Amino acid sequence: MIQLSHVSKIYGGSGRKAVDDLTWEIGDGKITGFIGPNGAGKTTTLKMITGILAPTSGSIVINGKDIVKDPLEAKRQFGFVPDNPDAFLRISGSEYLNCFFRFPCGPGRLWEPSS
């Protein structure tokens, strides 16, 4: 489960509020789409959920692990494919999938590429 509680992000230099008091919960096993107009805070929110950016205020908890207080354990709870994979252009498709999709798929199981 992913829980965002009163999450806000203000960018320091500009003072622009990209995310304002967001409270949201995504239940276990749910596949969720995140849509909205440009500048709505989608990318900022995803970067905060994944620990790339720290929220200015509020908390983000993934399966009971706080992404700010316990980032390593929180990041072990999910898989993430970035929207800009340019750094991975020199590896094969199989290597790319192995990099991002080695995550739990069920009780005690890992996704593995078929041989």
pLDDT tens-digit readout, 34-77: 899 998 999 899 999 989 899 999 999 999 999 999 988 898 88
7 plus 47 within the same structural domain? yes
34 plus 18 within the same structural domain? yes
16 plus 41 within the same structural domain? yes
20 plus 8 within the same structural domain? yes
> d(Cα 42, Cα 63) in Å, to the nearest integer?
21
115 plus 97 within the same structural domain? yes
pLDDT at 2: 95
DSSP H or E run through 45: helix 42-49
Nearest by Cα to 56 from 89, 110, 20, 107:
20
Task: Tell me the residue range of the domain where 112 lies.
Answer: 81-115
Strands (DSSP E) along 11-114, which ranges?
A: 17-26, 57-62, 65-66, 104-106, 109-110
Which pTM was predicted?
0.71
Please, what sign has the CA dihedral across residues 49, 53, 58, 63? positive
Is the pLDDT at 102 greater than 70, yes or no? no
